[in-house]
Amino acid sequence: MRRVLVHICCGPCSIYPLKRVMEGHAEVWGFFHNPNIHPRSEFLKRLEAVKLLSGLMSVKVIYDERYRPSAFIKGVKASLGEDAGKPHPPFGPRCDYCYSSRLEETAKAARAHGFDAFSSSLLYSRYQDHAAIKALGEKLAAKYGVRFIYADFREGWYEGINASREMGLYRQNYCGCIYSRIERMEEKGRRIEEKKRKAGVLHGVQP
């Protein structure tokens, strides 16, 4: 029986990928390694959600429980070089570093623990760059001698959402890093301001 290590970015996003890989009659383990997550309270919520999922799905998980976003931020800045601090489009250099750093640790762990292949729950999300993840996975597979399993788990998007709600898992509302959190808060602020503006116009109040 082949052994597969699946990187787990969070509980809800991992349900469908774990289920799909287990259907292939493989011995499946999870790997929680997400130094990008900020703040600490958010990191702990996602960690506990994965532990709950592990019990509910009877999946063993290797945990990296260290909260260390400073190392992640330094890595992002180093990867961006002179472009650090400048706005970037979705799936830009910042995300590339986030993908590569977590996938590489997964590939390393897979080789160290005798797994035949590795994959990631990032492939479940509609908000991630699948082409970049696939390319990185295949590159790391060649580097570490462990096969990368690519599958478009987005087909199980609603199944995963419904299952996570039934399981009572914590469901986050942003990707995870401090940058995505700031972007989410700014977006929320814009929506609030737009509602206020529309409400003012409807009531005859000019902005």
Q: How far apart are CA 35 and CA 78, in angstroms?
A: 16
pLDDT tens-digit map of 102-115: 999 999 999 999 99
Residue whose C-alpha is closest to residue 124's, from 92, 165, 164, 160: 160
**Local structure of 28: helix, strand or coil:** strand
DSSP 8-state symbol, 84: T
What CATH code would you report for 3-173? 3.40.50.620
What's the half-sphere exposure (Cβ side, CA atoms, 13 Å) at 148? 21
pLDDT tens-digit map of 162-196: 999 999 999 998 888 888 888 878 887 888 888 88
pLDDT tens-digit map of 14-40: 999 999 999 988 999 999 999 999 999
Q: How far apart are CA 162 and CA 169, in angstroms?
A: 11
Please state the rounded mean pLDDT for residues 113-131: 96
